[in-house]
Amino acid sequence: MKRRTFLLGGLLASSTAFAAPKKKATSNGTGLKKSSRSGLRAPSGPAPIKVPAKLAPEMALSGGVWRPYDLKVDVSSTSHGDDATLWIPIPMDTPWQQVTGISWSGGGNKAGIRFDPASQLHVYVAENGSNTPDVTLNMRIETRTRQFDITKRGTFFHESEEELDRNVRETGYQGTSDSLRRLADEVTGRIIEPLPRARALYDWVLDKALSGQCSAYELALPPRTTCLSPKGEDVAIAFVNLCRALNIPARAVWGQIIGESRLNPKLGATGNVTKDQRVRAEFHTPGYGWIPVDPGDVIRLQQLEGLSATDARLTNLRKKLFGFWEMNWVGYQYGPGFKLPGGPDTGLAGLATPLATIGNPRAGRTSDAEVRYQIDARPLG
């Protein structure tokens, strides 16, 4: 079984074909190939991670030291009797998380990494005939705390108008655009500025969710989602849709827990994290850029601990998580509304676990297939 080891930056040539280094890479003694892409370095190197120049100001808004983790995804072979394609998401590179190394074994000859620029989704893709192949994907990741600082106005990089426009478009919810806007207007009242408007929406949707009044924001939920047992991801997406209704750019971020939490032990995990996916959110305001929020973990803690809506632990946590992401987590891509690079329309709002499809998407006969996998994470150092 062949084993391939790369720096991620050397693989991303295009969104339509598997990427390949244009020049022969040289060894750096670590088992990784050198890459000139800014933002990546070999795991054993002492130098700090570099980011593109336009991201440097936003880097300053993150705090603390970089913390390294190993993240491993094991997929077991499954026979489907038709053309099968395996997709495994890879964390994004941002000022608060970096993929510093990636390697895989298995997958056959038709395996590589593809990229969707709209959602910033990198995926490992393996095409293996009638079987989903045996694959082990190993990643080295470093994260640092993401903290919004209200005193840092004007120090962010300027987001493109195209990206901002993409994140105010309708992407699917149960109500109509008019009904959603009326609801958002009722919540925010006479508040005009985007930052306090977003704060009002965050507090309102959490008030309703924590007190079991899901019907109040049901029309902001994704299609086919019911109020029987709303999850943290539902509340995060409802917040995003309410922001967009007021023309505040917002996006959900699908990701994976990779370490223990310093806020509460039940908000983290290590070792086998196969079922520890989370959705967080962020919104954009002039002067500050993208601001992180995490209403989903507030709901999760309430459900795990059986807390009342007014419990002091929830009150403190919801204040903390407006403008803060605890980076025992990595994000894979922005949504709702992502696309598999070169793949079919799955109908999924986001991707944070391996996915298999069978059939030929160009012939219109693609469907999801069962995937057996395990995800393990461990801190380093």
pLDDT at 5 over 50: no
Task: Give the range among 32-41, 131-140, 311-320, 323-332 with minimum mean pLDDT.
Answer: 32-41
Question: Cα–Cα distance between 143 and 289 in angstroms, integer?
Answer: 20
- Condensed to tens digits (0 to 9), the pLDDT of residues 319-358 reads 999 999 999 999 999 876 677 887 777 777 888 999 988 8
pLDDT at 11 over 70: no
Only one residue has tokens 């985007």, namely: 194
Helices 232-245, 177-188: axis angle to 10 degrees equals 90
pLDDT of residue 360: 66
Dig out the tokens for 69 from the structure.
């983790």
pLDDT of residue 159: 80
Q: Which segments of 158-276 are extended strands (E)?
A: 250-257, 271-272
Query: CB neighbours of 223 closer than 8 A, spacing ≥ 6?
Result: 172, 173, 174
Average pLDDT, the chain: 80
pLDDT at 89 over 80: yes
Question: Cα–Cα distance between 355 and 337 in angstroms, integer?
Answer: 16
Phi, psi dihedrals of residue 286, rounded to the nearest 5°: -60, 135
Only one residue has tokens 């391939």, namely: 4
pLDDT at 155 over 70: no
- Condensed to tens digits (0 to 9), the pLDDT of residues 272-325 reads 999 999 999 999 998 889 999 999 999 999 999 999 999 999 999 999 999 999
Phi, psi dihedrals of residue 319, rounded to the nearest 5°: -70, -40
Higher-scoring residue by pLDDT: 381, 306:
306
pLDDT at 247 over 60: yes
Q: What percent of the chain has pLDDT over 70?
A: 80
- Condensed to tens digits (0 to 9), the pLDDT of residues 163-211 reads 888 899 877 787 789 999 999 999 999 999 999 999 999 999 999 999 9
Query: CB neighbours of 91 closer than 8 A, spacing ≥ 6?
Result: 71, 97, 99, 122, 139, 141, 255, 256, 330, 331, 332
pLDDT of residue 357: 84
Contact 262, 64 (CB under 8 A): no
